[in-house]
Amino acid sequence: MSEALQSLLDLLDLERIEEDIYRGRSRSAVVPRVFGGQVAAQAMVAAGRTVPGDRHAHSLHAYFLRPGDPGAPIVYNVDRLRDGRSFTTRRVVAVQHGKPVFTLSASFQTYEEGLDHQAPMPPAPDPATLPTGEERLRSYPHLPADTVERLLETRAAVDLRHVDDPPFGAFGTPREPHSQVWFRTNGKLGDDPLLHVVLATYVSDMTLLDSVLLAHGRGGWAVGDVVGASLDHAMWFHRPFRADEWLLYDQQSPSASGGRGLGQARIHTQDGRLAVSVVQEGVVRVPR
């Protein structure tokens, strides 16, 4: 396991303060606020620790209410909304400086047989044939060196490989609002299914709104030609998967208007199983 991955796992390992109350810390980010994927992943950790081990996450729905302060701890309060025969529901409120900054509802289910079908996996190149995230980032001479280093630092725990140039790599020309990214953790993880859900939740917020930017030829927050922030985020976990094995994150944007952009995505395993569906809306503003 890489040092960066171990550092991320330590970040997600919350401190238990009291029954159903947990405390987490933050790490530096490219922008001066808590990374949304971090607070969503930590909230899932808090929710999952109050759920029986035979029930696995099948969905989450979250709202980002305020920018998180990376210099202050985050307190996660868990409400045990329901414990049914098949489903368990939890609500988590993340608090900083006495105010809620994030809310999450998560549902967990016991395993059962049922109808089974899925959308086919889209075509994509083998991840082994693609440049690594570091190779791609360092190939863009227009990116400031400090921006490259910050991006590399925040993504060091994950092997993230874009199929095509990301928005900050080749901006200025609008193209189809569609992007693909292969990802896996930089090291093996344990077998706890919740851990893999948590890591996928963390990564899911990294690139989902990129397809919005591609449609308008914008480089994004990394180059400062738009201002953005996550507003809400939803995920449905359809089938078991491992975040330490290659996953294809196929993302598109059907709409942007009113200073907001919508991203939709599917996450497939390398052998073609549809593992996760993701939808997110975010603020996407062009600075005056």
Active-site annotation, residues: 205, 230, 280
202, 40 Cβ separation under 8 angstroms: yes
How far is the CA of 26 from the CAs of 23, 47, 212, 270, in angstroms? 10, 18, 27, 31
* Half-sphere exposure of residue 220: CA atoms within 13 angstroms, side-chain side: 25
CA distance 9 to 221: 26
Q: Which helix (H) or strand (E) holds 36?
A: helix 36-48
Long-range CB pairs of 256-259 (<8 Å, 24+ gap) are 256/212, 256/215, 256/216, 256/284, 259/283, 259/284, 259/285
Contacts of 141 (CB under 8 A, 6+ apart): none
Place of tokens 């082994």: 128
Contacts of 145 (CB under 8 A, 6+ apart): none
- In a 3-state reduction of DSSP, which class is residue 250? strand
Beta bridge partners of 40: none
106, 60 Cβ separation under 8 angstroms: yes
215, 253 Cβ separation under 8 angstroms: yes
Nearest CA to 249 out of 130, 122, 117, 61 is that of 122
